[in-house]
Structures are given as structure tokens and as C-alpha cells.
Amino acid sequence: MRGVCVSYSLIGVMLVAKVAFISLSSCNGCQVTFLNLIPWVREELGAEVIACPFISKKWSGDYVDLALIEGSVGNEEHLRLVRRVRDSAKYVVAVGTCACYGGIQGLGRVLNAREVSELVPKQVTNKPVIEVVEVDAAVPRCPVPEELLKEVIKYFIKPGNEGVPTRNHAFLTVCSQCSRVMKPMKELKLRLDYDPGSIDEGTCLLSQGVLCLGPITIGGCGARCTSRGIPCSGCAGPVLDLIIIRGERPIDRLSRVIATLSGKDFSTVRRYLENLIDPVLTHTFTASSVLMRSKPNSRLLNLLGGK
């Protein structure tokens, strides 16, 4: 467990920690979550927000105690910016799935990455922030939940806190927070589309034959989609042990769960899923993550044309 030592800037007679929010390629949704926290950051933590492009200025290179970065690295300017931030900030946190795994535009670039000819900065292969610089914490999910972001900011700004709070969720899946009950599947048949009126309120969506990525997706979101009858699309990125176990692929993990639910053997289920599910469906938010691409036999390699 690491200790925290924030160096404070002297403004008048008050010691004030400086926080900067930096935005790269994204929908700005995590910044909107941060906007909601600004009054709390100022009033409760007594910190100064020196940059937040949505409401004030962009970060200009000044020293900061805590840099929160949303979005993925999409062009050479982003690349230079992220490196400068790392050099200038005491702590750097990758906020949201784009910063951690490349996010949704990662897949967009993989599928359609051509250049316009003038005035725009040279585009680079979409990269998550965590693959470009070393970060002190990574908080995936799309967008980052307010409570998680709050805990992380507090941890780095308020000395004396212990343990990165999100670590508690890292090995938990969305299923662990879902109130739906898993039941045996009647047959090995998954639908990619379905009639919402036919969904049983209290039963697991996978058990009802609806493709749901809850078993392979990191928890901490409160399973708000699945609790409303909406299958998980994996926006938070993979659960941590799926990343750590190099040979394990999302489709393998999913196959194992479905094999248990359907009573079929693993290899039958995996073959069925590989025929049914395009890799873009399990990697919609993580297509540009090297963590997912570097797995042996990663299905993403097909998507990338064997690169």
C-alpha cells in the first residue's frame, strides 16, 4: 500500500492543492462528471481547479498535484500533451474507459482510420493513456461514476487515506452487483436482438438467451443497465483477472459461464459463440487496447487484419 504525499502550492496564506482536468479524444462525458464535482473539490477538499477546458482554460503546462485525463490519445498533439502532463504532475489518473482502454473511438479508428490532408494534427493509432505514460491510477467505466471519481480525487488530494478505492471493484464483475438470478438456460441459443416485452424481470439476461457481457466486465457501476433490463455492452472494460491471465480471452470467459448455465461442454459453447459473435461486440470499448490485442489468439487480430 503506497503512502500519499501531496505537495501543496502556496497561495496567499493558504496551502492549496492544484487539480487539472485534461481532455483528449472523447465525448467529454467524464469531464461532465467532474464538473459536477467541482464545487465539492473546491469547498470540501479546498483544492484549486486550475484547468478544465469545458468551463475555464486548457492546461498550460503548470505544475499540478493531480492531473485527471479523460479520452484516448488520437493524434501527435495528444501524445506530446500526455507526456508533458506526466512530467509536470505529481499524480496522473486515467479517467474513464477511453483513457484506460481506448474507448469507443478506438474501434471507430480501427474500422475507418483515414486522414484528411491539411490543418489537422497527424493522427496516430488510437492509444489509451495508460499505454503512453505511467499513471498512478486507472478508473475505467463509461462514463466514470461520480462516486468512484470522488473517492480517487480524495485519495490523492487528502493525505492519510489508504488504498486505492477502486481496487475493491477490480476483480468483481457487473454480475456481482446485478440483482437478477442466474438460472439454467433452456437451450444453447443466444439472441443479439430480442423483444424487451418478453424479458423476465428477475432472471439473468444470459439465462434468458440474451447476449450480456456482465460476466466479463468490471463491476463498480452498480449494474444499472442490467437492473433495467438492458444487457451489459462492456463499456467499463474487462474485469481485471481477464487482463492478468494472458491466455484468457473474453469469449473464453463468456463461454465458461454459458457452459455452466446451459449444461453444454465448454468447447461446444465456445465454437457456438465464435460463430455467433463478431469480435467487435466483445471489444466495442477496448479494440485499441494492447492488453486485449496481445492475448494469444486474440480475436481482435482478425479485426485488425492480422496486424
Partner 1 sequence: MSDEVVIDLTRIEGEGRVYVLLNGDEVKVRFVGIDYRGIEKVMETQPPYRLPHIASRICGICFISHFVASLKALSNLLGTEVSELPTLELANSIQHLLDNLLHLMVMSSEDLIRLGADSDLVGKLSIKGMKVFTKLMSVIRKGFGDPVHPFIGWVTKLPKINDVLTTVGDDLREVIKLVNDLQDDLTRVVTKAITNSCRYPGRSDYKYLALSNNYLTTGVPKVFSGDSLSNVDVTELALSRESLSYSYILPPKYLGGVIRVGPLARGLINNYLSTRELQRNCWSPLLYHLARLREIHGLITKLSEPSVFEDVTNVPNSLPVEAPRGTLVHVYRVVNDSLRVRVLTPTAINSRAIESDVTKALVEGGYRDPKVIKEVTEVIVRSYNPCLSCATSSIRVVVNG
- The residues that touch partner 1, with contacts defined as CB under 8 A, are 23-33, 35-36, 38-39, 53-58, 74-75, 77-78, 104-105, 107-109, 111-114, 116-121, 123, 142-143, 146, 192-194, 196, 199, 211, 224-225, 228-231, 233, 235, 278, 280-281, 284
Is the CB of 43 or the CB of 134 nearer to partner 1? 43
- Distance from C-alpha of 229 to C-alpha of 225, rounded to nearest angstrom: 7
CB of 112 to partner 1, least distance (A): 4
> How large is the greatest C-alpha to C-alpha distance in the chain, in angstroms?
70
Is the CB of 123 or the CB of 161 nearer to partner 1? 123
- Distance from C-alpha of 100 to C-alpha of 41, rounded to nearest angstrom: 23
CB of 8 to partner 1, least distance (A): 24
User: 135 by DSSP, 3-state: which?
Assistant: coil
Is the CB of 57 or the CB of 186 nearer to partner 1? 57
Is the CB of 176 or the CB of 227 nearer to partner 1? 227
Is the CB of 120 or the CB of 245 nearer to partner 1? 120
Residue whose C-alpha cell reads 463491476 in the numeric block:
219
CB of 66 to partner 1, least distance (A): 20
Helices (H), ranges, 4-62:
29-43
Residue 90, phi then psi, degrees to nearest 5: -70, -50
CB of 300 to partner 1, least distance (A): 13
- Distance from C-alpha of 14 to C-alpha of 265, rounded to nearest angstrom: 65
Neighbouring-strand partners of residue 170: none
Examine residue 279 and say whether the peptide bond preceding it is cis (omega within 30 degrees of 0): no
CB of 157 to partner 1, least distance (A): 19
Residues in CB range of 302: below 8 A, 6 or more apart: 279
- Sheet with 18-23: list strands edge to edge: 48-51, 18-23, 64-70, 89-95, 137-139
CB of 1 to partner 1, least distance (A): 31
CB of 267 to partner 1, least distance (A): 25
Kindly state the cell numbers that stand for 93.
489518473
Residue 104, phi then psi, degrees to nearest 5: -70, -35
DSSP 8-state code for residue 221: S
Is the CB of 265 or the CB of 274 nearer to partner 1? 274
Is the CB of 91 or the CB of 288 nearer to partner 1? 288
